[in-house]
Structure 1
Amino acid sequence: MKIAVIGGTGLIGSQVVRLLTTGGHDVLPLSPSTGVDLLTGSGLPEALAGADVVVNLTNSPTFDEASPAFFRTTMENMLSAAASAGVGHAVILSIVGVDQVPELDYYRAKVLQEDLLRTGPVPYSIVRATQFFEFVDAILSWTSDENTVRLPATPVQPMAAADVARAVADVAAGAPLNGVRNVAGPQVFGLDELGRVALSARGDRRAVVTDPSAGMFAAVPGDVLIGRDDAVLAGTTFLDWLSR
């Protein structure tokens, strides 16, 4: 199949491109550096000509109230170009539990992205993944100083970006789900516990203080970010990932 991967040079996209290429598909990575701008639509109709599948892995440059406008514009551009080109399958990457956290601007924006895909003209698949191991350091940095890191005990079930990419590639190479596939890591942690494991593994002596009001994940209710019974569990543990 000919598969266009928008955002094909990023953390997940570059790995998806490699996996699909290895699987024998004709893969076209698309990004502003290749002349395709999803925000303006420039170069998109030409890039999707003859494509069987389009995978959209672009992300909003901000997590604030500007993010819904980004996802609305980019999805409308993609779906219009994909429909005109006769693309038979559109895939996006979203977040496990995203529709359960209306307090967060970015999560509402991702729900909008999903809704636009569901009601659009192209058969679709949504891959919802849990948080990435690769983002743990950034999460710690949001609420840290030279002595402490403050984190809520929000349950999370993180996974390696490589496992996320594998899940996206598998879905892209298959028939449209016209629904959602949830993927998650093999272990559930409290976010504060995950912070302690990460700091200890790196020899960082800062203390993790459990603070239910600290950071973005303080707005998450209960355990909505963990995989449910239908989630496909990845094999890479956090300690395995850290050791690599």
Structure 2
Amino acid sequence: MKFAVIGGTGLIGSQVVRNLNAAGHEAVPHSQSTGVDVISGQGLDDAAAGADVIVNLTNSPTFDEASPAFFRTSMENLLAAGHRAGVGHFVILSIVGVDQVPELDYYKAKALQEEILAAGPIPYSIVRATQFMEFIEAVLSWTTEGDTVRLPATPIQPIAAKDVADAVAEVAAGAPIGGIRNIGGPEIFALDELGRITLAHKADGRTVVTDPTAGMFGAVKGDVLTDKDAHLAPTHYADWLS
């Protein structure tokens, strides 16, 4: 099969392309660097031409109130190009619990992306992943003040980017789900404890202080960002850190 992987040069996209090509498919990466612009529509018809599957891994450049407009425009443009090309399967990567955190603009935007895809003309699959292990350092940096990192005790189920890419490639190569597949890491941590584990491993001198209001995850209530019944990935956080 032929796959058009939009956002195919990024953290997840580059690995999805590699996985699909290693399995004997033809996966072509597309991004702004290859002349494809999901907002203006430039290059989308050429990218979709001849593709059996579109995998959309593009992301909004911001996480604020501008993000819904990005996902609306990009999805409408991609769905239109895919429909014109006769694409039979459209895959996106989303977030576990994305529809349970209306306080966050970015989560509302990703939920909108899912809604647009489900209402569109192409058979689809949505892969929802828990929080990436690769982003934990950024999460720590958001709430660092001097030697102190403030984090809530929000339950987190970290998953390695490699495992996410494996799952996306597997779903893309299969029949359209017409719904959602949740994937997550094998362990659940409180975010503040995960911060302490990370800093201790790196011999980082910062101290984690538990603050239920700190950062983006302070807006998350309960354990909506975890799913014990998800398809569990094999990589444990301690192994990933090592």
Residue number in structure 2 paired with 1:58: 58
- 1:46 deviates by 1.4
- 1:39 deviates by 1.1
- 1:36 maps to 2:36: yes
Residue number in structure 1 paired with 2:239: 240
Deviations 1:108-135 (A, max 9, x none): 0000000000000000000000000100
**TM-score of the aligned structures, taking structure 1 as reference length:** 0.98
- 1:32 deviates by 1.2
Deviations 1:177-202 (A, max 9, x none): 00000000000000000000000000
Partners of 2:213 and 2:33 in 1: CA distance: 40
Deviations 1:75-101 (A, max 9, x none): 000000000100000000000000000
- 1:218 maps to 2:214: no
Partners of 1:180 and 1:239 in 2: CA distance: 28
**Identical amino acids, percent of aligned pairs:** 70
Partners of 2:187 and 2:92 in 1: CA distance: 24
SS at match of 1:106: helix
Superposition map of 1:53-202 within 5 A: 53-202=53-202
Partners of 2:239 and 2:34 in 1: CA distance: 35
- 1:45 maps to 2:22: no
The runs of at least 4 aligned residues of structure 1 exceeding 2 Å deviation read none
SS at match of 2:209: strand
SS at match of 1:135: helix
- 1:50 deviates by 0.9
Partners of 1:146 and 1:66 in 2: CA distance: 30
SS at match of 1:168: helix
Specify the code of the residue in structure 2 equivalent to 1:79. L
- 1:211 deviates by 0.2
Deviates more, 1:205-214 or 1:51-60: 205-214
**TM-score of the aligned structures, taking structure 2 as reference length:** 0.99
- 1:47 deviates by 1.4
Deviations 1:122-158 (A, max 9, x none): 0000000000010000000011122211000000101
Specify the code of the residue in structure 2 equivalent to 1:28. V
Aligned length: 242
- 1:205 deviates by 2.1
Deviations 1:51-74 (A, max 9, x none): 000000000000000000000000
- 1:225 deviates by 0.2
- 1:12 maps to 2:8: no
Specify the code of the residue in structure 2 equivalent to 1:88. G
Specify the code of the residue in structure 2 equivalent to 1:126. I
Specify the code of the residue in structure 2 equivalent to 1:130. T
Specify the code of the residue in structure 1 equivalent to 2:231. V
Specify the code of the residue in structure 1 equivalent to 2:154. T
SS at match of 2:91: strand
